[in-house]
């Protein structure tokens, strides 16, 4: 992350620009809390996906089917309005002799989600990181998210869900494998 970050003083100035009194009791600690929150919400810039995807050779030598993790929480902020978007991710892959700890897939989603994003790029970044660092035969990623920039402003359509996907490796040409992944990725 850049050395130039928003300070408590910056958040105080924002409150003043909104017509608020940053010294009133309910807002006195807000600038510090907001600075801390944004540091957390953008901590993905400080993470290296390669570090997260440590692999194991043991256990995958003969495994030749999809491994799918569903319902991975996604919490991010859109880069256009800095409004939250949230939902769930599904990641599936077919190992090529090595596997990754399942919790690492959740950490990978978190790494990229904790950056200013658009859902389409987030989906592709997760899939590309899997292909690059795990070198599987196939990768599939599906994200289902709700966007506060659509729900709370603009069109104001609550509950709409945006679905994006990325399928790499053998999932692209192999219709049977693609169909299996999408069936496994489908919500119950």
What pLDDT, in 10s, does the model give residues 17-54? 999 999 999 999 999 999 999 999 999 999 999 999 98
Domain identity same for 107 and 124: yes
3 lies in a domain? no
Would residue 40 show up in a list of annotated catalytic residues for this protein? no
At residue 77, the 3 state secondary structure works out as strand
**Whether residue 1 has pLDDT greater than 70:** no
Domain identity same for 20 and 95: no
CB 164 within 8 A of CB 120: yes
Instruction: Find the CATH number of the domain harbouring 137.
Output: 3.30.1130.10
Q: What pLDDT, on the 0 to 100 scale, is given for residue 104?
A: 96
Q: How far apart are the first and last CA of the chain?
A: 38
Domain identity same for 68 and 19: no
pTM here is: 0.92
Q: How confident is the model at residue 4 (pLDDT cuts 50, 70, 90)?
A: low
Q: What pLDDT, on the 0 to 100 scale, is given for residue 62?
A: 81
Q: How confident is the model at residue 73 (pLDDT cuts 50, 70, 90)?
A: very high
> From the candidates 9, 51, 61, 79, which is the catalytic residue?
79
27-63 core/surface letters (b: 16 or more CB in 10 A; e: else)? eeebbeebbeebeebbebeebebeebbebeeeebeee
How many domains in the chain?
2
Would residue 119 show up in a list of annotated catalytic residues for this protein? yes
Other Cβ atoms within 10 Å of 71 Cβ, number:
10
Would residue 79 show up in a list of annotated catalytic residues for this protein? yes
> From the candidates 80, 160, 161, 187, which is the catalytic residue?
80
Tokens of 169: 């490796």
1 lies in a domain? no
**Whether residue 78 has pLDDT greater than 90:** yes
Domain identity same for 180 and 112: yes
Would residue 9 show up in a list of annotated catalytic residues for this protein? no
Could you give the CA distance from residue 144 to residue 85 in angstroms, rounded to a whole number? Answer: 10
Domain identity same for 34 and 56: no
Domain identity same for 104 and 165: yes
Q: What pLDDT, on the 0 to 100 scale, is given for residue 155?
A: 82
Would residue 20 show up in a list of annotated catalytic residues for this protein? no
Domain identity same for 165 and 93: yes
Domain span at 19: 8-41
Domain identity same for 32 and 74: no
Domain identity same for 36 and 85: no
Would residue 172 show up in a list of annotated catalytic residues for this protein? no
pLDDT tens track for 150-179: 889 878 888 899 999 999 999 999 999 999
Domain identity same for 53 and 84: yes
Would residue 135 show up in a list of annotated catalytic residues for this protein? no
């Amino acid at each position: 992350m850049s050395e130039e970050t928003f300070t408590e003083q910056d958040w105080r100035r924002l409150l003043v620009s909104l017509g608020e009194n940053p010294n009133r009791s309910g807002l006195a600690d807000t600038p510090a809390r907001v600075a801390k929150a944004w540091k957390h919400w953008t901590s993905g810039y400080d993470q290296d996906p390669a570090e997260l995807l440590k692999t194991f050779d043991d256990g995958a030598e003969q495994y030749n089917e999809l491994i799918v993790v569903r319902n991975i929480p996604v919490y991010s902020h859109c880069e256009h309005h800095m409004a939250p978007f949230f939902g769930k991710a599904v990641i599936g892959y077919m190992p090529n002799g090595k596997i990754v700890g399942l919790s690492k897939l959740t950490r990978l989603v978190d790494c990229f989600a904790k950056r200013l994003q658009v859902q389409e790029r987030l989906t592709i970044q997760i899939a590309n990181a899997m292909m690059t660092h795990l070198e599987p035969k196939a990768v599939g990623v599906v994200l289902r998210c709700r966007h506060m920039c659509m729900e709370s402003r603009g069109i104001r359509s609550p509950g709409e869900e945006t679905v994006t996907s990325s399928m790499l490796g053998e999932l692209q040409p192999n219709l049977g494998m693609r169909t299996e992944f999408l069936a496994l990725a489908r919500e119950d």
